[in-house]
């Protein structure tokens, strides 16, 4: 962040200052273990920890000061403290004040799926003209989004901020800091039903993103989503998608998949009210075409040219462990989409795996979390898709998969279905099955199984005799 005085920090968070108000701060940290000298420490509190316990450690390691919801018993004369009601809220309030120092276009993205992919796609386009800040990785929550805003610097000319949620009010809370010029919802699906009663409740929570849209701002929606298509907003609204519902003015048409087994890139055309865009997207996923409509809609709004948009989309690179097609020795193909999973995304990936025709196809799938009342149907639908698509092998991991995915796959005709309690328990069978010319899909929920570690293992495995 730009150098900011402790007095400015205090005013931004409506706190009480103890110490040197002229102290300059340009770095914040929430981790006492790796804090840099001179950084400002933000102690956070959770169910099983209290960052206030680590204030002495942070100060001893060189932190210049800290927020605190309760003052330490002894205040060091060489350090500065700001007493606040809640440290997490103080971090958000500071980010809100700091964002106000920048008069640049800011885009906020939320949705059940595709947030990070759209963020990468859109940031790649905007970067063709603007120095663009984007959310690193998937740091889109109560801590990550404010920290992203606090990393804005004078050279930045645009920002793309991803925001996620696991409860009602969270998108509104983050939006009070982001205050976007363009607000985007990618879709509404069942992935949050463990926290919400219905998809309509999810829609209501996601639609909080528009409450902090700046005057004259634009709402961008997936017009193919049956719930988003019904939203009536008091702001300018535009819809993108494949055109399955009336009102979708930005339409995508998939033409073909290119490269070996059609796994390298997607050729499509996006037609807008202003222009026609022939695109080559470095991804094997058809849904990238629909995300491109949302990105182009936003980019046109922010003044980018046709050439900048086409070039930016062609530069797309997937984030870590998100639908990366990797070539391994012996002509093996690893479709690594191991970061997260839900029924719709798993079935989409299975259709990509199905395109592989020159060898065995192996689906290595784990439990999907946060599905709530859709848990049984979601896992069953995935199992059924494995069988109906003719995938030769299913290696399933986890209790939900055992209960619903495995029986559905067997019933749908998958010839080789195996179940394991853990990711590593399947390793020996996987190595035996992953023969030269085979294709493998890795997919599971982020907080279950860490399938990305299996991708790391296979990437480094010495498949003998092949290059």
CATH architecture of 324-460: Alpha-Beta Complex (3.90)
- What distance in Å separates the CA atoms of residue 154 and residue 133, rounded to the nearest whole number? 11
Q: How many CA atoms lie within 13 A of 364 on its CB side?
A: 32
The SS3 assignment for 290 reads: helix
List 441's β-bridge partners, or say none: 335, 363
Average pLDDT, the chain: 94
Which residue would you say has higher pLDDT here, 419 or 260?
419
The SS3 assignment for 212 reads: helix
The domain limits of the chain are 4-87, 102-314, 324-460
Scan for tokens 């420490």, then name that residue. 41
Residue from 370, 376, 348 nearest 448 by CA: 370
**Residue 465 pLDDT more than 70?**
no
Contact between residue 199 and residue 228 where contact means Cβ atoms under 8 Å apart: no
What is the average pLDDT across 50-66?
Answer: 96
Q: What is the longest distance spanned by two Cα atoms in the chain?
A: 72
Among 13-27, 101-115, 448-462, which is the least confidently predicted range? 448-462
Q: Looking at residue 195, what is its pLDDT?
A: 77
- What distance in Å separates the CA atoms of residue 145 and residue 209, rounded to the nearest whole number? 14
Q: How confident is the model at residue 138 (pLDDT cuts 50, 70, 90)?
A: confident
Among 87-91, 124-128, 191-195, which is the least confidently predicted range? 191-195
- What distance in Å separates the CA atoms of residue 318 and residue 325, rounded to the nearest whole number? 10
Q: Looking at residue 111, what is its pLDDT?
A: 95
Which CATH superfamily does the domain covering 102-314 fall into?
A: Mur-like, catalytic domain (3.40.1190.10)
CA-based angle 319:161:323, to the nearest 5?
20
What tokens does 71 get?
A: 């003052």
- What distance in Å separates the CA atoms of residue 21 and residue 177, rounded to the nearest whole number? 24
What tokens does 240 get?
A: 């993108």
- What distance in Å separates the CA atoms of residue 458 and residue 144, rounded to the nearest whole number? 30
Domains 4-87 and 324-460 belong to one CATH topology: no
Q: Looking at residue 320, what is its pLDDT?
A: 85
Contact between residue 88 and residue 31 where contact means Cβ atoms under 8 Å apart: no
How far CA 372 is from CA of 199, 369, 403, 449, in Å, comes to 11, 8, 15, 19
How far CA 323 is from CA of 111, 187, 340, 353, 390, in Å, comes to 18, 18, 10, 11, 21
The SS3 assignment for 69 reads: coil
Q: Looking at residue 341, what is its pLDDT?
A: 92
Q: How confident is the model at residue 467 (pLDDT cuts 50, 70, 90)?
A: very low
Scan for tokens 């035996």, then name that residue. 432
- What distance in Å separates the CA atoms of residue 39 and residue 34, rounded to the nearest whole number? 10
Fold classification of 4-87 is: 3.40.1390
Q: Looking at residue 192, what is its pLDDT?
A: 67
Residue from 41, 3, 5 nearest 22 by CA: 5
What is the average pLDDT across 294-302?
Answer: 97
Residues in contact with 40: Cβ distance below 8 Å, sequence separation at least 6, in sequence order: 9, 25, 27, 28, 29, 63, 64, 65, 66, 67
What tokens does 33 get?
A: 């273990």
* pLDDT > 90 in the chain, percent: 85
List 185's β-bridge partners, or say none: 110, 221
How far CA 82 is from CA of 68, 77, 91, 345, 411, in Å, comes to 6, 14, 12, 45, 62
Contact between residue 330 and residue 436 where contact means Cβ atoms under 8 Å apart: yes
Contact between residue 328 and residue 405 where contact means Cβ atoms under 8 Å apart: no
pLDDT in tens, 396-453: 999 999 999 999 999 999 999 999 999 999 999 999 999 999 999 999 987 777 899 9
End-to-end Cα spacing for the chain: 46
pLDDT in tens, 171-207: 999 999 999 999 999 999 877 677 788 889 999 999 9
The SS3 assignment for 250 reads: strand
DSSP-derived letter for residue 404 is: I
Residues in contact with 44: Cβ distance below 8 Å, sequence separation at least 6, in sequence order: 30, 51, 87, 88, 91, 143
**Residue 364 pLDDT more than 80?**
yes
């Amino acid at each position: 962040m730009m150098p900011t005085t402790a007095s400015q920090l205090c005013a931004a968070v409506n706190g009480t200052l103890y110490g040197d108000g002229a102290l300059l701060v340009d770095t914040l940290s929430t981790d006492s273990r790796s804090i840099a000298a001179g950084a400002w420490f933000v102690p956070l509190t959770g169910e099983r920890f209290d960052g206030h316990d680590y204030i002495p450690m942070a100060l001893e390691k060189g932190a210049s000061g800290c927020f605190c919801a309760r003052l330490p018993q002894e205040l060091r004369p060489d350090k500065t403290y700001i007493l606040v009601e809640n440290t997490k809220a103080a971090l958000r309030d500071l980010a809100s004040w700091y964002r106000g120092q920048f008069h640049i276009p800011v885009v906020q993205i939320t949705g059940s799926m595709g947030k990070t992919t759209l963020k990468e796609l859109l940031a790649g386009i905007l970067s063709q003209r603007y120095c663009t800040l984007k959310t690193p990785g998937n740091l889109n929550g109560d801590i990550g989004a404010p920290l992203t805003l606090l990393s804005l610097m004078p050279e930045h000319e645009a920002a793309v901020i991803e925001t996620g949620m696991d409860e009602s009010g969270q998108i509104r809370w983050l939006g009070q800091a982001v205050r976007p010029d363009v607000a985007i919802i990618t879709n509404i699906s069942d992935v949050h039903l463990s926290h919400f009663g219905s998809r309509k409740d999810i829609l209501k929570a996601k639609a909080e993103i528009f409450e902090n849209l700046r005057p004259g701002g634009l709402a961008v929606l997936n017009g193919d989503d049956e719930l988003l298509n019904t939203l009536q907003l008091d702001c300018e609204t535009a819809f993108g998608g494949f055109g399955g519902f009336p009102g979708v003015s930005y339409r995508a048409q998939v033409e073909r998949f290119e490269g070996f087994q059609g796994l390298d890139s997607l050729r499509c055309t996006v037609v807008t009210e202003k222009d026609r865009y022939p695109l080559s997207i470095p991804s094997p996923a058809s849904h990238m075409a629909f995300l491109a409509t949302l990105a182009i809609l936003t980019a046109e709004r922010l003044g980018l040219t046709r050439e900048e948009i086409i070039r930016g989309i062609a530069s797309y690179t997937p984030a870590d462990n998100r639908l990366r097609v990797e070539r391994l020795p012996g002509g093996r193909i690893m479709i690594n989409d191991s970061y997260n999973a839900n029924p719709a995304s798993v079935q989409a990936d299975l259709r990509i795996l199905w395109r592989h025709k020159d060898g065995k196809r192996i689906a290595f799938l784990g439990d999907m979390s946060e599905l709530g009342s859709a848990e049984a149907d979601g896992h069953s639908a995935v199992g059924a898709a494995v069988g109906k698509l003719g995938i030769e092998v299913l290696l399933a991991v986890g209790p939900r998969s055992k209960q619903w995915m495995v029986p559905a796959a067997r019933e749908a005709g998958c010839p080789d279905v195996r179940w394991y309690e853990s990711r590593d328990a399947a390793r020996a069978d996987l190595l035996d099955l992953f023969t030269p010319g085979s294709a493998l899909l890795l997919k599971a929920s982020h907080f279950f199984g860490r399938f990305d570690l299996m991708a790391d293992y296979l990437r480094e495995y010495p498949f003998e005799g092949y290059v």
